[in-house]
Amino acid sequence: MEELIEKIKEHLNTRMKLAKLTLVEKGVLLFANLITDGLVIIFIVLAFLFVSLAFGFYLSELLGNSYGGFFLVSLFYFLMAVLVYATKDKYLEKPIINNMIKKIFKKQEEE
């Protein structure tokens, strides 16, 4: 009977170690995904910023004043922000949440 209890304790300890390692693996995978996705987002934002500046300068030149082009670009971004805010629950938050859940459990599905 004592041997059985000892085997059960050993099994439980092994399961706890496995759970800890699995949790660490998922955490590291999530962290790595966040870092790489963050870098991609930073580069996209920088490219978008420079395109926006170039477009602002271009529109300013077309309009003949130094602030008109940048005002139009700013107005466009303001309208986009209002549109995103109005539709964020349906079109942004749920897909982002679902994508994160898929990334977290992707490794588990492969096993």
Q: pTM of the prediction?
A: 0.63
SS3 state at 20: helix
Helical packing angle, 2-63 and 94-110, nearest 10°: 140
What pLDDT is attached to residue 109? 63
Domain limits, the chain: 1-64, 66-110
Q: Show the CA angle centred on residue 100, arms to residues 94 and 106, nearest 5°.
A: 130
pLDDT in tens, 5-52: 888 999 999 999 999 998 888 888 888 888 999 999 999 999 999 999
- CA 74, chain centre distance (Å): 25
Which of 31-35, 60-64, 77-81 is least confident? 31-35
What is the DSSP-derived secondary structure letter of residue 86?
H
